[in-house]
């Protein structure tokens, strides 16, 4: 399969969108996690060589989906349950006349989710691979008789040959919560954000276009266009936190950066029967 390198995935666990010419995406049904996106043979996403594919633990890399809670959760596991449930493939990859390939996945409440979070819901996740971009759309539907609240995020791990050369552009003048400094509220004054330390910041009300320069082989940038995701989290565990992570090699912090679009600072409320869509389109272009 064009997009696959790891022998770790079982064939029945993955869905591949193959555009041809080395452009392909691989989605793991555990969490509907996009684990690989190659553009003309160049891997854009990071997935740890120690990632565990046991259909239990969240996958360390790719694009895990966070729902219904970003961060620690009093009712259940960190970042909620969406990334650790098996999703249904509701529409197998289909190619349209322009060559774009779309697959659709869904997750509904069941006994296990209701034990943690007693709400009836449906998530519909549409993954569309274009020639130079990956379009991800998450629809949240409230199937309950009462309103519910949630936070959600696409936890994208980008790969890079050298994280100290990678930068995030578009965050200047934004307020952020520094989770490494007990949630201190600060303002970003850099036009290009470089990461050289244990870094965990939640930027609020970011513009709808963010650039991550020097990802993949380092000769590529990605342009992220987001809709209904006001916030952007930038995360790298760096050496000290990496050492405490069993599913992450202690040197891998040098070769990844998470730039995560989300709606996390404020809860989203959906009334009975209501729905809301959240999306990001990640496009590749030559680095700046």
Ligand X SMILES: O=P(O)(O)OC[C@H]1O[C@H](O)[C@H](O)[C@@H](O)[C@@H]1O
Is 155 a catalytic site residue? yes
Of 107, 141, 105, 109, nearest in space to 125 by CA: 105
Q: How far is the CB of 96 from ligand X (least distance, A)?
A: 34
DSSP annotation of 59 reads P
* Burial of 179 per CB tally in 10 Å (0-12, 13-18, 19+): middle
* Burial of 154 per CB tally in 10 Å (0-12, 13-18, 19+): buried
Secondary-structure breakdown of the chain: helix, strand, coil percentages, each rounded to the nearest 5: 10, 50, 40
Per rule CB under 6 A, is residue 78 in the interface with ligand X?
Answer: yes
Q: Which residues are annotated as a binding site?
A: 60, 78, 83
Per rule CB under 6 A, is residue 233 in the interface with ligand X?
Answer: yes
Is 28 a catalytic site residue? no
Per rule CB under 6 A, is residue 195 in the interface with ligand X?
Answer: no
Of 17, 12, 34, 46, nearest in space to 248 by CA: 46
Residues 256-285 interacting with ligand X (rule: CB under 6 A): 258, 260
Helix (H, G, I), strand (E, B) or coil at 70: coil
Q: How far is the CB of 126 from ligand X (least distance, A)?
A: 23
Q: How far is the CB of 260 from ligand X (least distance, A)?
A: 6
Q: Which is nearer to ligand X, 79 or 226 (CB)?
A: 79
Identify the residue among 179, 225, 254, 276 touching ligand X (CB under 6 A).
179
Residues 15-74 interacting with ligand X (rule: CB under 6 A): 58
- The set of catalytic residues is 155, 260
| Interface positions with ligand X (CB under 6 A) | 58, 78-79, 179, 200, 233, 235, 258, 260
């Amino acid at each position: 399969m064009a997009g696959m390198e790891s022998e770790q995935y079982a064939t029945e666990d993955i869905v591949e969108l193959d555009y041809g010419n080395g452009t392909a995406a691989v989605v793991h049904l555990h969490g509907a996690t996009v684990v690989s996106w190659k553009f003309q043979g160049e891997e854009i996403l990071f997935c740890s060589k120690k990632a565990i594919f046991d259909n239990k633990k969240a996958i360390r890399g790719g694009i895990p989906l966070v729902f219904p809670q970003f961060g620690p959760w009093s009712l259940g596991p960190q970042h909620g349950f969406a990334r650790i449930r098996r999703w249904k493939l509701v529409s197998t990859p289909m190619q349209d006349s322009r060559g774009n390939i779309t697959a659709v996945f869904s997750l509904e409440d069941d006994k296990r989710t209701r034990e943690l979070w007693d709400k009836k819901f449906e998530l519909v996740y549409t993954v569309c691979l274009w020639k130079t971009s990956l379009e991800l759309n998450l629809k949240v539907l409230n199937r309950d008789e009462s309103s519910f609240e949630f936070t959600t995020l696409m936890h994208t791990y980008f790969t890079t040959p050298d994280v100290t050369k990678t930068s995030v552009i578009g965050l200047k003048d934004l307020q952020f919560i520094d989770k490494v400094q007990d949630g201190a509220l600060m303002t970003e004054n850099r036009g290009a954000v470089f990461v050289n330390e244990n870094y965990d910041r939640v930027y609020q009300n970011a513009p709808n276009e963010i650039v991550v320069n020097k990802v993949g082989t380092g000769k590529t940038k990605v342009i992220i266009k987001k809709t209904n995701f006001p916030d952007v989290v930038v995360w790298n565990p760096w050496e000290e936190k990496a050492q405490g992570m069993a599913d992450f090699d202690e040197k891998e912090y040098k070769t990844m950066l998470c730039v995560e679009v989300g709606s996390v600072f404020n809860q989203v409320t959906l009334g009975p029967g209501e729905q809301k869509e959240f999306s990001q389109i990640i496009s590749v272009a030559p680095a700046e």
